[in-house]
């Protein structure tokens, strides 16, 4: 969810150097407001995609799949990253995650 205070701060600064890093981990903690996102997309520089508990992107959840449709329609976002936090480096899972990420967010 885009916090109103953050958007107001970015607007007030009037600088091309300060933008929002939108992290989809928010989906796991609060309701996503599509209209607020669309309305404020010009203030977003990077989108960070993550699964619940920052797991591998093996089976993308419904939130990320729906979100991909929204941002793929727009073609405005060039900076989209995948966030995975794992105690072990599992190359096979990383490879699958990256392939899924590329196929969904391209």
Residue 106, pLDDT above cutoff 80: no
Q: What is the largest CA-CA distance in the chain?
A: 45
| 33-78 pLDDT per residue, tens | 888 888 888 889 999 999 999 999 999 999 999 999 989 887 778 8
- Quick one: average pLDDT of 70-88? 89
pLDDT at 93: 97
pLDDT at 2: 60
If we measure between CA atoms, which residue out of 75, 67, 74, 80 comes closest to residue 28? 67
pTM of structure:
0.81
- Quick one: average pLDDT of 70-89? 89
| Average model confidence (pLDDT) across the chain | 88
- Quick one: average pLDDT of 18-47? 86
Q: Is 21 left (phi over 0), alpha (psi -120 to 50) or beta?
A: beta
Burial class (CB in 10 A: 0-12, 13-18, 19+), 87: exposed
pLDDT at 87: 93
- Quick one: average pLDDT of 5-27? 86
Please report which helix (H) or strand (E) contains residue 1, including its range: none
Could you tell me if 61 and 25 are in contact, meaning their C-beta atoms sit under 8 angstroms apart? Answer: no
């Amino acid at each position: 969810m885009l916090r109103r205070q953050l958007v107001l701060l970015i607007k007030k600064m009037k600088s091309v150097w300060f933008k929002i890093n939108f992290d989809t981990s928010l989906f796991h903690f609060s309701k996503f407001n599509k209209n607020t996102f669309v309305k404020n997309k010009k203030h977003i520089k990077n989108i960070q995609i993550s699964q619940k508990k920052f797991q591998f992107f093996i089976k993308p959840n419904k939130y990320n799949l729906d979100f991909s449709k929204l941002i793929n329609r727009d073609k405005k976002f060039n900076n989209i990253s995948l966030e995975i936090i794992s105690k072990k480096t599992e190359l096979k899972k990383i490879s699958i995650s990256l392939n899924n990420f590329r196929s969904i967010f391209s």
